[in-house]
Amino acid sequence: MWRKPEENNAQPSPNPVPPGAPQASQVPSPAPIASAPAAPARTSPNIKIKGELTSHEDFFWDGVFEGKIHIPDGKFTIGPNARINAGIEAREIIIQGEVVGTLKGERVHVSKTGRVTGDMETHGIVIEDGALLHSNVHVGQKDSPAPSSSAPPRSKQAAAASASASSNAAAPSPSLTTEPKDN
């Protein structure tokens, strides 16, 4: 059993601690490393860059960019304040702002605030009501050659693209143009 030492008979401790130094019970233990997924790298609306952006992780851009963007293994999100004039290649591209250029990705999502002008090559596309799209869109299947003109459409988007292409036989690829409706 331990007894509290009397004040006038205090004995020195075996490991004296200098005055002002933290006691062992006051030293914080290191926090455990969390295995939560990392948040995407971000930029603010005030950033303006001309050049080339390359990453292997998710990236959120909300400024002005001109050049080339290459994110083969990640998701590239164009924020609502973004204005981009670039060729973009990413696994997934989400457009909330304005893009002028070519897009190439497994999946492209144009939100209701998104505006796209340029050619697009993708395996899947989502276009929300209100989005503005002036583009030649090529929707292909993963790891397969381009479909022949006699093949049946694979989805509603592909059916719309096929109908558009058949009305303009001179076009090299299907074109989709959407404009917001005036109510």
Residue carrying structure tokens 């331990």:
2
Reply yes or no on whether the pLDDT at 158 is more than 60.
no
Those residues whose C-beta lies under 8 Å from the C-beta of residue 129, and which sit 6 or more positions away, are 112, 180
Which range, 3-12, 44-53, 135-144, has the best average confidence (pLDDT)? Answer: 44-53
The C-alpha atoms of residue 100 and residue 51 are separated, in whole angstroms, by: 15
| Residue (of 87, 102, 97) closest to 51 by Cα position | 87
Cβ count near 68 (within 10 Å): 15
For residue range 101-144, list pLDDT tens digits in order: 999 999 999 999 999 999 999 999 999 999 999 999 999 876 65
Higher pLDDT, 108 or 37: 108
94 phi/psi in degrees, rounded to 5: -115, 125
Kindly give the pairing relationship between strand 48-54 and strand 132-139. unpaired
Q: Structure pTM?
A: 0.59
CA atoms within a 13 Å half-sphere pointing along the CA-CB vector of 153: 14
Percent of the chain with pLDDT over 90: 50
Contacts 24+ apart (CB under 8 A), 94-103: 95/131, 97/62
Q: Which of 19-33, 77-91, 144-158 has the weakest average pLDDT? A: 144-158
SS3 157: helix
Residues 6 or more apart from 62 whose CB is under 8 A from it? 42, 43, 44, 45, 47, 78, 79, 80, 81, 82, 97
Mean pLDDT (the chain) is 74
Q: Checking DSSP bridges between strand 59-61 and strand 64-78, what pairing results, if any?
A: parallel
